[in-house]
Amino acid sequence: MIILITLSGIIGSGKSSLTAILANELGTKAFFEPVKDNPVLPLFYKGNEIAANKRAAGDKEATNPYAYLLQTFFLNRRFKMIKEAMKDDNNILDRSIYEDELFMKMNTDMGNATQVEYQIYKSLLKNMMEELPYAAKKKSPDLMITIKVSYETMIKRITKRGREYELIQNDPSLADYYKKLLGYYDEWMKQYDVSPLLIIDGDKYDFIGNADDRITVLKTIEERLLELNKLTSSEAAEIEKRHTQPF
């Protein structure tokens, strides 16, 4: 078994949880996107609120001064993370560089970033993607797993984990931001072609709290890996034995 799996999905979709579950199931290493040590993220959410208030007051050109900074911060982190993951075998990333641009595009379309910032960002991303095959064993993931959830499920999970700067109770403008982001993810899923894509219904399957749902999702992923010849039948049978083990 030599695999590289990347996960994608909107805020609160359960990427980190499924990454941990999969890493435990497949016996692989998990790479998690740092959140707690991100000094820009709280500033970005505050900047969104400030920009929205300015635009509502008539300043149509108001931008979020932290949007470009946040996206370059994430881009740098994700480039480093995927390079490290691609150097070895059997790794799983809870987010990857491949969905990064949709955030910058959305922020530009919303007026939080300027077109100049977006073009500079795209140029930087293009340069990084051209360098990636030279810095790693693989040119792309073996499988991209996207967790698709509704707005209601997303808000429920965001509320449960309780990060102050993500809560719509603290910033009502986030409701519109999150709804727009769902639409951008829908478009991204249609256009993604870097690797095979598997979409998991995060509304239907509670793979975090329901053991039966977790087994169903794991079997779905393992069957896809079998189809892609990334698992052998004997490896799949061995993994199958772990399904009854507690996570």
Q: Is 36 annotated as a binding residue?
A: no
Query: How many domains are contained in the chain?
Result: 1
Q: Is 10 annotated as a binding residue?
A: yes
Neighbours of 102 (CB within 10 A): 17
Residue 185: per-residue pLDDT: 96
Closest by CA to 48, choosing from 67, 73, 75, 71, is 67
Q: Is 209 annotated as a binding residue?
A: no
Q: Is 166 annotated as a binding residue?
A: yes
Residues 192-201 have pLDDT tens digits of 999 999 999 9
- C-alpha 39/C-alpha 25 separation (Å) is 33
Q: Is 45 annotated as a binding residue?
A: yes
Q: Is 15 annotated as a binding residue?
A: yes
Amino acid at position 3, single letter: I
Residues 45-78 have pLDDT tens digits of 888 788 888 888 998 888 999 999 999 999 999 9
Expressed as residue numbers, the domain containing 149 is 4-244
> Which run of H or of E encompasses 144?
strand 143-148
Residue 94 is among the residues annotated as catalytic for this protein: yes
- Alpha-carbon dihedral sign for residues 3, 38, 44, 128: negative
CATH number at residue 26: 3.40.50.300
Q: Is 160 annotated as a binding residue?
A: yes
Active-site residue, selected from the candidate residues 94, 176, 186, 203:
94
CB-based contact 118:31 (threshold 8 Å): no
pLDDT in tens, the chain (247 residues): 568 899 999 998 999 999 999 998 888 899 988 767 788 888 988 887 888 888 889 988 889 999 999 999 999 999 998 888 887 778 999 988 999 999 999 999 988 899 999 999 999 999 999 888 776 667 789 999 999 999 999 999 999 888 888 889 888 888 988 999 999 999 999 999 999 999 999 999 999 989 999 999 999 999 999 999 988 888 777 777 766 455 4
Q: How far is CA 127 from CA 46, 103, 123, 156, in A?
A: 30, 18, 6, 38
> Which run of H or of E encompasses 139?
none
Assign 31 to helix, strand or coil. Answer: strand
Q: Is 203 annotated as a binding residue?
A: no
Q: Is 9 annotated as a binding residue?
A: yes
